[in-house]
Amino acid sequence: MENALGLTGYQATMMTIVFALGILGIGGLLMAIFWPKRWKMKYRMEIGFVVLLAVLVWYADRKSTEVYSAYQADLNESGELSVDGYEAAGEFDRTLRVIAFQWGFAFLTEEDEISRNAAVVQPGERVLFEIISNDVIHGFNIPAVGITTEFGPGENRQVWIRAPKEPGKYLIQCLNYCGVGHAQMKAWLVVEGPEEGGEV
């Protein structure tokens, strides 16, 4: 199972580079303070530093663009470019209302059945989440399908996913700090196999 906070992927690479540069920067400051002989940085070093920063910005922007483009391509291929309003409900296999609160999620089905900790779907389904918060700003993140959104009180956020084809339990978590219980604000996207059923 993927973890959005795990030390993998390009985020980890960027953090490693930033951490290394931070250590070098602190080392340089300490040298400037305690090194007896003063020296002036050469122009070539200054240019190299600027080039390094430009490469880091390019790398971060390229990776962000790849993620965004992949998501947009999926939308374009499916022909579902908008989920505004209820007229789009027929485009989805399942609609779930999500109420976020300190510190958990409640999932309501179209039949008004409620689950405190799980959104139950079938493999490959197109699932529309209609998300609201009843207290503070929250996040809604499902790492396994690459979807993240944030929303505050009074907002009605709509996002959709295509459920994983592999049956199992996939993490749902809040990524916006929302109080002392934030770390425990988790639920599960439960993808049931054809023969499975019942409550979770």
**Which residue type, as a one-letter code, is found at position 147?**
I
The span from the first CA to the last CA of the chain, in angstroms, equals 18
Tens-place pLDDT, residues 98-125 = 999 988 899 999 888 888 889 999 999 9
Residue 70: per-residue pLDDT:
57
Per-residue pLDDT band for 78 (boundaries 50, 70, 90) equals very low
Higher pLDDT, 180 or 35: 180
pLDDT mean over 78-97? 61
Distance of alpha carbon 97 from alpha carbon 119, whole angstroms: 10
- Least confident segment among 2-11, 40-49, 62-71, 119-128: 2-11
Distance of alpha carbon 95 from alpha carbon 161, whole angstroms: 11
Measured in degrees and rounded to the nearest 5, phi and psi for residue 46 equal -65, -45
**Whether pTM exceeds 0.85:** no
In this structure, the strands spanning 126-133 and 186-191 are unpaired
Residue 129: per-residue pLDDT:
93
Higher pLDDT, 172 or 48: 172
Half-sphere exposure of 159 (CA within 13 A, CB side): 20
Residues 136-174: b if buried by 16+ CB within 10 A, e if exposed: eebbbbbbbbebebbbeeeeebbbbbbbbeeeeebbbbb
Q: Is the pLDDT of residue 54 over 50?
A: yes
Residue 173: per-residue pLDDT:
92
DSSP for 114-141, written as a single string: EESSEEEE-TT-EEEEEEEESSS-EEEE
